Amino acid sequence: MIDQYPPANGVLTSLIWRKTAAGGETSLSGYDNASQALSYTPGQEQVYLNGILLVRGDDYTATNGTSITGLAALSASDFVQINCYNNFSVASLPTSGLVGEISNSQITSLATSKLTGTVTNAQLAGSISNDKLSNSSITINGSAVALGGSATIAGGSAQDDAPASPTEGQLWLDTNGTLATTAFTEKSTLTTTGDIYYASAANTPARIGIGSSGQVLTVASGIPSWATASSGSMTLLQNVSLSGASSITSDTLSGAYNDLVIYIINYRASANNQFLKLRFNGDTSTGYAQYSTRFSSSGTNYGPSGSITETSLDVMDGNNQGMSSAEENNIIVTRIFNYANTIGTGGHKLTHSVSKHNKSGIFGLAQVLSSWQNTNAIMTITFFNNNSTNFSSGNAYIYGVK
């Protein structure tokens, strides 16, 4: 009988040694009827005599692995069968794969060394459910991971805190599972400050370099581009600070627009009873004409009045009701129509000014219609006060209007 069985996770194989006795033998060894040599693992053999299992130690002795001794003398034609069981290790799995399920209890441990070789798609048919991957992370070091088809990441943290300059091809996620903005730094189509992303064709990313100041985004030949607005736009041409001088002249104005609009904000002079005046191109001739009215919150209104021989233009009102030097929140808006006109209509440039200004706590609302008759385009605008008093504050924002 067997008193030591192979380990439970082993696999048994056996040698069946059969011998017909000549008579008188008390030990057996050597070759059987089929010329197989007797070889067994002591304790893992079974000895049958004429079909009856003998008892080790009582009926026989088996200690050396090659012979059975201590038998009662055999009779001629007695038939002895010795079943020899041996351990063997698993050298390889069948190439056709394992069928069925291997439970956790059947795999108590895996080798501590890394798995080598390749697991092919055919060997991983089907899917691996989450509950089969209860560990929270998978670490793959040193090799690329290719994801065919789509990959879905449902929140969580795949890789947080992307470095400032990730290596090309890296993919970093923030803690919300969204792509980190720095992840694309080196592969981005956007290379320059101000670049805009667009598709130059289906599924073809491209960039548009930033346009120049005042340009607008438009469409040409079916793709976006930056261009100077052809109509409807206002472009800030100059911001002229009104302070520190008696008269202030703008830089040379571009003639590329239709009209000029001047917003004069918070204008003040350094003395009382001043009012703002304009000259174009430094012209002091009597080519200016104007017609003005003024409403006062005091109830005393002025105008309308007009003159066709002025040497400058009033933009607050033509009745010369000045403002207090200390009062603020004055607003003047002047539009100069067709300011680059050099032909026709005697070269007249029409202007319309509206204003709100303060004097001794009383505010006035005024408008001035005026013209400058000159065949030159307006190239510069000079701001000054009626008494050439210094400006103390204000800004004149000069816009070009398409």
Partner 1 sequence: MTDYIHRIYQADGTYIDRPYTEEEIEQAVKDKEDADAKIQANIEFEAKKAAAQAKLAALGLTADDLKALGLGGN
Report DSSP state, residue 318: T
Q: How far is the CB of 365 from partner 1 (least distance, A)?
A: 17
Distances (CA, A) of 250 to 335, 367, 379: 16, 23, 9
Q: How far is the CB of 314 from partner 1 (least distance, A)?
A: 9
**In this complex, which beta carbon is closest to partner 1, that of residue 85 or of residue 275?**
275
Tokens 């209860």 label which residue? 134
Residues in the chain: 402
Distances (CA, A) of 98 to 92, 95, 174: 11, 8, 41
Compute the chain's Rg from CA coordinates. Answer: 53
DSSP 152-202: ---SS-SS-S--SSPPTT---B-TTSSBPGGGGTTT-S--STT-EEEEEET
Q: How far is the CB of 378 from partner 1 (least distance, A)?
A: 15
Contact residues for partner 1 (CB under 8 A)? 238-240, 244-252, 273, 275, 277, 284, 300, 302, 311-312, 319-322, 384, 386-388, 390
Q: How far is the CB of 248 from partner 1 (least distance, A)?
A: 5
**In this complex, which beta carbon is closest to partner 1, that of residue 71 or of residue 276?**
276
Distances (CA, A) of 249 to 113, 136, 221, 281: 84, 72, 42, 9
**In this complex, which beta carbon is closest to partner 1, that of residue 228 or of residue 238?**
238
Q: How far is the CB of 244 from partner 1 (least distance, A)?
A: 7
**In this complex, which beta carbon is closest to partner 1, that of residue 46 or of residue 367?**
367
Q: How far is the CB of 224 from partner 1 (least distance, A)?
A: 29
Helix (H) or strand (E) holding 46: strand 45-49
DSSP 216-238: EEEEETTEEEEEE-SSS-EEEEE
Can you read off the two tokens belonging to residue 141? 């070091």
**Which residues sit opposite 351 in a β-bridge?**
336, 370
Q: How far is the CB of 373 from partner 1 (least distance, A)?
A: 18
**In this complex, which beta carbon is closest to partner 1, that of residue 178 or of residue 388?**
388
End-to-end CA distance of the chain: 111
**In this complex, which beta carbon is closest to partner 1, that of residue 25 or of residue 317?**
317
| CB-CB neighbours of 67 under 10 Å | 14
Q: How far is the CB of 267 from partner 1 (least distance, A)?
A: 15
**In this complex, which beta carbon is closest to partner 1, that of residue 183 or of residue 248?**
248
Distances (CA, A) of 174 to 135, 160, 182, 292: 21, 5, 10, 65
**In this complex, which beta carbon is closest to partner 1, that of residue 162 or of residue 253?**
253
**In this complex, which beta carbon is closest to partner 1, that of residue 28 or of residue 240?**
240
Q: How far is the CB of 392 from partner 1 (least distance, A)?
A: 13
